[in-house]
Amino acid sequence: MDKAVRSPQASETKPFTLKKWNLLALWSWDVECDICAICRVQLMDACLRCQTENKRNECLVVWGECNHSFHNCCMALWVKQNNRCPLCQQPFNHSYRTPAYILWNFLIDFVLEVL
């Protein structure tokens, strides 16, 4: 059985050239809400206080054992008056913290890997 062999030059010619590509990525965290319920700013952005004080890279996101997440600055002020989750009213104990800007950088790195 004869198989046709293509020359390297024939396989290098491209039938089209990509001139423009608009990439759209939609994602969300595995949490009930990706907006801080206290300041109403998305968690991947710094809270209003950190934006005002120009401390965007210092803003942390804190997750509670109830799986609700908030900006750490917002939650620190909240728990001084009420040590309960603003959304579910369970006692608030944080399980871990993450810098907010890392959330955005993670998304960018992920998209660049896909490209």
pLDDT at residue 58, as a whole number: 82
pLDDT at residue 27, as a whole number: 59
Please give the model's pTM, rounded to 2 decimal places.
0.59
Predicted confidence pLDDT, tens digits, the chain (115 residues): 555 555 555 557 777 787 887 877 765 556 567 889 899 998 888 888 888 898 888 888 888 888 888 999 999 899 899 999 999 999 988 776 666 555 555 556 666 666 6
Q: Which fold has domain 48-113?
A: Herpes Virus-1 (3.30.40)
Torsion of CA 106, 35, 90, 63, to 10 degrees: 10
Q: Domain locations in the chain? A: 48-113
pLDDT at residue 5, as a whole number: 53
Contact 43, 29 (CB under 8 A): yes
pLDDT at residue 39, as a whole number: 92
Half-sphere exposure of 96 (CA within 13 A, CB side): 3
